[in-house]
Amino acid sequence: MRTFETFGRSFLLPVSVLPAAGILKGIGSAFTNKGTIAMHPWMADKTLQLIMGFISMLGGVAFKNLPVIFAVGIAVGLAKQEKGSAALSGLLGFLVLHNTLNYLLKVSGTLVNMAKDPTGALLAQHMQTTVLGIQTMDLNVFGGIITGVIVYLVHKKAIKMKVPQVLGFFSGPRLVPILTIPVMAVVALVFFVIWPIIQQGINELSVAILRSGYFGTLGYGIVERLLLPFGLHHGLNWPIRTTELGGIFTIGGKQYAGTISAYMASLGTNGAIDPMITRFSSGKFIYNMFGLPGAALAMYTCAKPQNKKTVGSLLLAAALTAFLTGITEPIEFTFLFVAPALYVIHAVLAGFTLLATNLCGAAFLTPTGHGLINYIIYGVLQGTRTHWWLLPIIGVICFFAYFAVFTFVIKKFDFKTPGREEDPSTIALHGKKETRQKLGVKSIKDEMEGSSNKELTLHDQALALIDAHGGPDNITNVNACITRLRINVKDESLVDKDLIVNELKAMGFAKSGMQMQSIYGGRANQLKVEIREILGMVE
């Protein structure tokens, strides 16, 4: 579970650009779609089309380059330190991977002649594509994900690797991109041999997910909500949205992997949008905008009369937040805090909401944020082909279903939802942190925050380093390079190397004559300045 959560959270950085890019793409596509222009002739204005075409192009940049964005983003997201080195290595590793594959395709005689393939049919047939102008094997977003993970593993080892003193310049963060080149070349060689087999397996799994049909939609909706309290839902969501695991769809004669790329490509066509592309997304709009506000109304109705004024304002704010932006945590974590059984009921209702929405043929999707704002951009503005009018119809039913079920269960089992407590001063909505603490659930983020709280402040660490080097009287000079804190001493026997490495968080320790070198990465210069200030050394 820890590995799954870590992997899932690493997706957050590369996908953080998608909401903004998606809005640009959605607005631009809405005004440049030929079907929409036919219904609204005023949109055919050349200046408007030029501007909207430009906006659509800007939004499409991110979606067309998802593999390289993931290569860099995942490497940075996983790296604990020296993230700049991880980013550079992620980009370099991605380029090495695909240039090596291009070379192997050439020497093996299997590189498709693009001059004889104007439609791109042969490229797709031979599982080849072009990435950043490089003709290579079609690894899709998986290529970026794999690159990011491997670069992270190289970064993790290389950042602390000791090198001979003569090669000291190439140690630490500088060593990471150097080692990335041969490692990714070997990875490319392995992929050249095994990827066709892996791709076949992925394709079959993708087909299985698509063939799971409505049962798969129901199961996804339930499981995805149940994973949220543990912070594990990202590991399910983003592979579905960005890789072949979400399905492979043919749109305009081209194949697109993952639900986001397929939907964005669909917005640029005049045809109908396949509801199977949006089946994991459309229903989320409905239970966010209608279902959870129904649950909020149920909690308000069940509150004690004297508490309704107080609890009403809290629940109204939470319900409006869910409706407008799709941020549901204030409501979800509140009834998870007071009664986990209510959250399980919510997960089941959410699954059936996704199923019902898919059955009705709704076809609107967003990269993230299932609220009114994105519904207008990705649903209403895209015209009737999204069947956007289904949302208020199904939404009203969903609202009353949530309201009726929650009202019955709260009263039946006397759950102490907000406003039903004995002490009115305790009325409050509950957030992630306190809910997880009550349930004994710890996420990676919680552990990281806990460990960061235990770290020494810069000043305390500087004081401890002075003591570890034999005190102020033993120190003659303090300096730093990019990653190393360099402290010259009079008597090296007074220097406590073990303390510096084990307790004062140095990533490594070396000495050159009477100069003690402690590796602190980007913190080295900060420590130098702090120590010099404490010792009264003037620059």
Which residues are the active-site residues? 481
What 3-state DSSP class applies to 159? coil
| Rounded CA separation 515/520 (Å) | 15
Question: Helix 390-413 and helix 340-360: axis angle, to 10°?
Answer: 160
Main-chain dihedrals φ then ψ at residue 145, nearest 5 degrees: -65, -45
| Rounded CA separation 430/416 (Å) | 13
Q: What is the DSSP letter of 80?
A: S
Query: Which tokens in the block code for residue 527?
Result: 């420590």
Q: Based on DSSP, count helices (H) and strands (E) in the chain, helices before strands.
A: 26, 8
Q: What is the DSSP letter of 212?
A: T
Q: How many CA atoms lie within 13 A of 274 on its CB side?
A: 19
| Rounded CA separation 38/26 (Å) | 18
Pairing of strands 134-137, 128-131: antiparallel
Structural contact between residues 393 and 318, judged by C-beta atoms closer than 8 angstroms:
no
Q: DSSP letters of 433-490?
A: HHHHHHHT---HHHHHHHHHHTSPPHHHHHHHHHHHTT-GGGEEEEEE-SSEEEEEES
Long-range contacts of 527-533 (CB under 8 A, 24+ apart): 527/458, 527/461, 527/462, 527/465, 527/480, 527/485, 528/478, 528/479, 528/480, 528/485, 528/486, 530/458, 530/459, 530/461, 530/462, 531/462, 531/465, 531/466, 531/478, 531/485, 531/487, 532/478
| Rounded CA separation 162/154 (Å) | 14
| Rounded CA separation 426/435 (Å) | 15
Q: DSSP letters of 489-536?
A: ES-GGG--HHHHHHTS--SEEEEETTEEEEE-GGGHHHHHHHHHHHHT
Q: How far is CA 335 from the centre of its chain?
A: 26
- Please name the residues in contact with 137: beta carbons below 8 A apart, sequence gap of 6 or more: 101, 105, 127, 128, 129, 191, 192, 195
CB atoms within 10 A of CB 224: 20
| Rounded CA separation 272/287 (Å) | 24
